[in-house]
Chains A and B, each alone.
Chain A
Amino acid sequence: MSILLDEGQQAIATESRRIIDARENKAKALDLIEASGEYDAAWWDMCREQGWTAVALPEEAGGLGLGLVELGQVAVAVGAGIAGAPFLTSSFGVADALNRHGDQQQKARWLGLLASGDKIGAVAFAEGQNPLPTKPSVTFSDGKLSGTKPAVSAGLHADIAVVLAFDGTKSVLVSVDLSGVERQRINSFDNSRGTADLVFDDSPAELLQADDARRAALEILARQAIITAHEQVGGAEKAMLIARDYANTRKAFGQLIGAFQAVKHRIAELYGLVEIARANALHAAANADGPDLIKNAAAARIAATDAYDTSARDSMQLHGGIGVTWETGLHLHQRRTRTLALEQGNLLFWEDVLVNELAGEKA
């Protein structure tokens, strides 16, 4: 697929940005920070009404049959507006896993509900500091799952999880209906992500078909990482533009502060990081079905994390005192940079994955 957006893709980008801009609600986002275990339900309704939950799911499952390029454009807009919940990415991850590794029955049961947004998915691969453990501590035997997956995004609200577990001899991918599963809510610096420990205790689970479950999990993670990279690009660009607009308004020493090179060069550097990250994200999305999925996703992830981190950090710095107030809300970006940097594997993980690919070693 081309890395040049066609008219339809361009329209998705513009339209999703327009809708999100129109419904921007900073007060609500600030409230959510202090409300552990809640998400922005109105925001999620909007995502469902707009059909964004269905964008990259197959048509036979009630999806729109589009791909990561289109979902990526939605994610850029979502990132700029600071998402009210992590479900677009987490539900996509579950649907993607079921679509590739599930049987007809599993697909029939879940895909349509995920496409409509009636059900929410969570992906639970990570354990502790390890985004993709080689020998997961969560075990699967006789159709039952046991052990804890810590700090799963969307875990508190999800109806289904796809879990990387260990069956006694090898890693396996399983799907688990979360209705009877205990979740322990985790208070976070970025509440609204529905972060929770999932505590499995002989929880009924279904095996998904994957010859190499860890590799399959890495690829699911990579496709999620491409979406998150777009979201990070959106956030990074927004934080940069906020700084740009402030520098074009605020005066000191008789001139706009944007005329000082210490300020304008810093913003120009952010522009560079954002555009490099955008190009990587788009390239990865457009080639997600190609042989370089992992390499491209890693590059997208690294560039996007760097861009958002730097942009949020510098945007606050360039505002001076007003930038560190609760009300101005730049800390919403600051908080979101870390959450997005951790979800789908941190920078250290992706750097290693990338170098393994480049140096010809096995991931």
Chain B
Amino acid sequence: MTDAYEAYRQKARSWLQSIESEFGREARRGLTEEQDLALGRRYQSAKYAAGYAGINWPEDFGGQGLSHIEKVIFESEEMKFGVPSVYFGISLGMPVPILMRYGPDKEFARERVIKALKGEEIWCQLFSEPSGGTDLAGLRLKAEQDGNGWRLNGQKVWTSWAHYSDYGVIVARTDPTVEKHKGLTYFWVDMKAPGVTVRGIKLAGGDSHVNEVFFDNVRVEDNQRMSPVGGGFAVAITTLMIERYIATDSGGFGPHLDLFVDLAKEVEINGRPAIEDGRIRSAIARNYAMRAGLDSITARAMLMMQAGMEPGPEGSLNKLVAVRSRQKLSELAIDLQGNSGMAFEPHAFVKEDWSASWLNAPTGRIAGGSDETLLNTIAERILGLPQDHRPDKGVPFNQIPA
């Protein structure tokens, strides 16, 4: 790490320390989600004022005009403080940068971007549907021409934070008579428009940050279109690729391994300290080796970026490997506690509570690309293995058997 970047990290860390008592993990304990969101909006605003919002975005959109290196440095530090930034992750991660790039009206886009950076407005991303998520080009929600605009009819699902969102970006089918990925168009929508209904989905872990979103004859103007008609698939892929350099967590966004070691020192197995038990020691050692490897991959990617090089594709391993291991380690941590491991605090933080980590781990293995999808990507893009058999290739969308 060069001195300038190290200085940036130090500065970011001091700022985060200065706001920790107001916005950190302890300040959030016991808050309802609404209270936590309100705190999050204030945090986002403080971040904007301090120059840590939109770090790698252009200055004329309220950003700082720095590189993605500074952004990843800040986010890596920020992750340690448990601040309420989760509500803005998707908003600022994908839809808003896309608006900046493809928004047809620059003044409008600029106003939205700055409000989003300050936490005043939130954007969601309306891609997945009941009939498919991984098969992005297979979506069915219709956009039909209506005068100089469009009418949207259909349903989206798994839309994170739609219930708090002011706007969203959406991919819709404008032509069902051509191949599936050629009949899609990309728009932004007003989530408060008539005909938009948001219904929460309670997830296995008990929380409800994702939603079903219904579109019933929702009017969209043609100037809300962000791709050529029929050119939406490319923008959708760009949306998913835009966050190429993000802060990663070799703990799979679950508890740190130190917490497991501490637990193993506290409890006993058949009257002997668990930390002396070979099974536990093996689990600790294997997890450490795996996480240390992922950390080194991340550290090398940072060095490559700083040297102006493109990081290697091995960075894509993090989510696949880390979340899976977090799931198994959380199971073991619960077992280690014996019957007392059954106690559960529904509002516990995933990063410090094994039960919360374990209950929510399945979501982590599916959201943002399932394990199986990631394995396909590694096999096909990195190793050059053949694509799966795809019977819908070259077939007009409306002739694909449903």
Q: Which residues of A contact B (CB under 8 A)?
A: 2-4, 244, 247-248, 255-256, 258-259, 261, 263-265, 267-269, 271-272, 275-277, 279-280, 282-283, 296, 298-300, 302-303, 306, 350-352, 354-355, 358-359
Asked if A279 and B294 make an inter-chain contact with CB atoms under 8 angstroms apart, the answer reads yes
Chain B residues 276 to 317 lying within 8 A of chain A, measured CB to CB, are: 281-282, 284-286, 288-290, 292-294, 296-297, 299-300, 303-304, 307, 314, 317
Task: Pick out which of these stretches binds chain A: B218-226, B335-343, B374-382.
Answer: B374-382
**Cα distance, A256 to B378, chains bound together (Å):** 17
Instruction: State the CA gap A341–B304 with chains docked (Å).
Output: 32
Q: Which of B257, B300, B383, B387 has the most CB of A within 10 A?
A: B383
Are B385's CB and A271's CB within 8 A?
no
- B384 near A351 with CB under 8 A, answer no
Tell me whether A264 and B286 are in contact (CB under 8 A): no
| Interface residue tally on B, bucketed by range | 35 or more
- Residues of B contacting A: mostly: helix
B284 lies within 8 A of A355 (CB): yes
A-B contact pairs, 6 of them (CB 8 A): A3-B300, A258-B386, A264-B386, A268-B382, A282-B300, A355-B285
Nearest chain B CB to A188 CB, angstrom units? 27
Residues in B with CB closer than 8 Å to A359 are: 261, 264-265, 275, 284
A319 CB to closest chain B CB, in angstroms? 15
B372 at the A/B interface (Cβ < 8 Å)?
yes
Partner of B285, one of A3, A261, A263, A354: A354
CB of B111, distance to nearest CB on chain A (Å):
42
Please list the residues of chain B having a beta carbon within 8 angstroms of any beta carbon in chain A. Answer: 257, 261, 264-265, 275, 281-282, 284-286, 288-290, 292-294, 296-297, 299-300, 303-304, 307, 314, 317, 320-321, 372, 375-376, 378-380, 382-389
Structural contact, B388 and A259, CB atoms closer than 8 A: yes
> Could you tell me the dominant secondary structure of chain A's interface residues?
helix
Q: Please measure, in the bound complex, the distance between the C-alpha atom of A244 and the C-alpha atom of B299, giving whole angstroms.
A: 28
Q: Which residues of A contact B384 (CB under 8 A)?
A: 244, 248
Is B321 a contact of A276 with CB atoms below 8 Å? yes
- Whether the pair A282, B296 counts as a contact (CB closer than 8 A) is yes
Contact B317 A358 (CB under 8 A): no
Are A352 and B281 neighbours in the complex by a CB distance under 8 Å?
yes
* Contact A303-B290, Cβ < 8 Å, known A255-B386, A268-B379, A276-B297: yes
Indicate if the CB atoms of A302 and B286 lie closer than 8 Å. yes
CB contacts (< 8 Å) of B292 on chain A: these are 280, 283, 296, 299, 303
Q: Is the CB of A272 within 8 A of B386?
A: no
Q: Is the CB of B296 within 8 A of A268?
A: no
